[in-house]
Amino acid sequence: MSLLRPLVARAITLAAVFLAVLLILVVALGLTGFSERVLAATVGEQLRIERATLAQTIRDPEELERALEARRRELYTFYGLDRPWTARLPQTLLRVLSLDLGEARTLRSFKGSNRVADIILERLPNSVLLLTTALVITAAIGLAVGVILATRPGSRLDQALSGLAAVSHALPTWWVGILLILILAVRLRLFPSGGMYSTPPPTEPHLRVLDLCLHALLPVLTLVLVNVGPYIYVVRTITLNVAREDHVAMARAKGLPESRVRSHHILRVAAPPIVTGLVLGLAGTLSGSILVETVFHWQGMGRLYYEAVLGTPDEAVIVALTFLYTLLYVVARLILEILYVFLDPRVRYAD
């Protein structure tokens, strides 16, 4: 109970930060006139649908226009377009908070919907599947190899893998993806070159899942190859200082197995900063990898961002994605606050 109160206080603080960022976003929308354009586009789309409906019963063009004009005034009053944007500020805040940003200009969901919320929520699981899988693999390799290197500083293995880490960090993501496509997909024909499913896609559920996993192998491999080197080096650097502490030397002097020394006396102490990078990295990957998803035509949030910016910008989608990324960061920070209590006994929040 003593920890619950400060954690709730931290959650309230992060929620306040999130609302402050959201308020700044909404004010920027009002000052630039974007909110009015979004609402006007929503009204225009509703009037277009109603025109087609009323045209079937009202044959007189002038009467049809009068009916549409009356409906237009009702919609303008309903959405607050007859008032200054400052008066609509609370309503706009709620609309952004609920991802109710109207309809996209050109983008559509897989089912044909042009609502911004439908488009984003449909792409989010695809990015979670791809990028979280790559992050888990990268973290597992980085933890295993980084701790081993920290116990053997200066060895040939340490020098070789540190060099590979630098090379991995310098590799452009798009270049690695294209190279893997040319070698493994085009020349060797081991994997599909892109997309999420074959053409035509399998109809049976288990075959559809296998087909999805097969298409995800190359983009996951690309993300792992680019990110595993830097992560190994980060874990090595963090754990290297811990490995030189007196308590580690004492554990070895007691004759404890090296595996126990690494897991209980090195990795456990170095866990808080390592987990910090991991959780914040997860929040970053959920926002989407624009280059990887574009190269492999993976229909995730990164690809959606690329499509929203390319050609005619779809401002509503861009704003909604920015809002979602902020939300993911705040949630990740809250998770870190909770994990720190369990990972580091020295962390105890004061009442």
Residue ranges per structural domain of the chain: 4-97, 116-310
Residues in the chain, overall count: 351
Least confident range from 54-58, 122-126, 200-204: namely 54-58
DSSP helix/strand/coil, 103: strand
Q: What pLDDT band is residue 154 in, cutting at 50, 70 and 90? A: confident
Identify the pLDDT of residue 210.
Answer: 92
Rounded to an integer, the average pLDDT of 109-127 is 86
Which tens digits make up the pLDDT trace of 192-237? 988 898 888 888 888 999 999 999 999 999 988 888 888 888 888 8
Taken in order 173, 223, 123, 28, the sign of the CA dihedral is: negative
Share of the chain above pLDDT 70, in %: 93
Alpha-carbon distance values, 274 to 184, 207, 228, 238, 333 (Å)? 33, 37, 14, 8, 14
Name the phi and psi angles at 115, rounded to 5. Answer: -70, 135
Identify the pLDDT of residue 351.
Answer: 47
Nearest alpha carbon to residue 252 among 239, 271, 265, 237: 265
Does 140 or 313 have the greater pLDDT score?
A: 140
* Burial of 169 (C-beta count, 10 Å sphere; 0-12/13-18/19+): middle
Domain formed by 116-310, architecture: Orthogonal Bundle (1.10)
Rounded to an integer, the average pLDDT of 49-53 is 84
Rounded to an integer, the average pLDDT of 121-137 is 88
* Burial of 214 (C-beta count, 10 Å sphere; 0-12/13-18/19+): middle
Q: Determine the Cα–Cα distance for residues 286 and 284; give it in Å rounded to an integer.
A: 5
Q: Determine the Cα–Cα distance for residues 135 and 226; give it in Å rounded to an integer.
A: 11
pLDDT at 122 over 70: yes
Which tens digits make up the pLDDT trace of 316-350? 787 788 778 777 777 777 777 777 777 765 555 55
Q: Determine the Cα–Cα distance for residues 197 and 129; give it in Å rounded to an integer.
A: 14
Q: Is residue 26 a contact partner of residue 92, using CB atoms and an 8 Å limit?
A: yes
Q: Token pair of 328, please? A: 């993911």
Identify the pLDDT of residue 284.
Answer: 64
